[in-house]
Structure 1
Amino acid sequence: MPLTFREACDVVDLLHRHHRRPQGHRFSIGVQRPDGTLCGVAIVGRPVNRVLDDRFTIEVTRVATDGTPNACSALYGAAWGAASRMGFRRAVTYTQDGESGASLRAVGWKPVAVLRARTGWDTPSRRRTERGTDRVGRILWEQHTNEAPKLSVLDDLHNHE
């Protein structure tokens, strides 16, 4: 089901384990139980990493559920389905080191890079406070169309992360 950014952020505030709401979105969706109860949300936006921001790539920036079985997989699958129908050629997302990625694998996403933990997100041009996830490695996942160019930016990505 489609959601407003505010509706999705309210669910993220309640349910997400380690991140706050993102700054913006392209679209947000929700998944419901058979009785109609909202049990999870996905927020989809521009890639946070500007190396990947080519107008044809989206990033699933948040997924938050109440633990309902298969809700995460349903959200990742629906996010990519909607994005590809809108003309996007690639979707990316990240998991933290130690997370299995089972929900992503279940709907065809592939891990493409293991990224080292950052010492912080604060830079002279973009001042930021520590978020509690700065020193955690991540896995970059993707889903793409046949028309999507190879992710040749992975070398650059490793250098910028």
Structure 2
Amino acid sequence: MAGMSLMALGLFQFEALGFGFNDRSKSQKTSWAKIPVAGGMDRMQWTGGDSQTETIGGVVFSHFGGQLSLEGIKAAAANGLQLPLVDATGNLFNVFGMYVVEDISEQQNVFDGQGAPLRNAYSISLTKYQGGLSPVSALSAVVGLFS
């Protein structure tokens, strides 16, 4: 561990140094159906929630480490794993639920003499998973990636 853990996606910890993040955004969508009414304005009926999404962005610097965690998240995404998102703010742990990685983008720059990036800005797009896999099963699947 390179620093204090701030948040975790599965076994991958976002830290103050190393695999850190510098922004996080959330979005929640809901659906409403328009019901035509004769002689008046259309009525609205709530039909449920569509999705909850989170986007986590940060920068990995090779001299602080963290690229292996990003590669691990990419491997979990490539294998279709659901991962728990946990926030460790202060003395409290908030479990936000199970999420799937829908997109990871990277922007690598400042290269060393061998062509390896010294700076790698990333963005991870997550969507809340509504399904049947338990957090314990998901963590077991993540551990299986490394065995």
Give the alignment's TM-score, normalised by structure 2: 0.28
Greater RCO, 1 or 2 (C-alpha within 8 Å, sep 6+): 2
Bigger strand fraction: 2
Give the alignment's TM-score, normalised by structure 1: 0.26
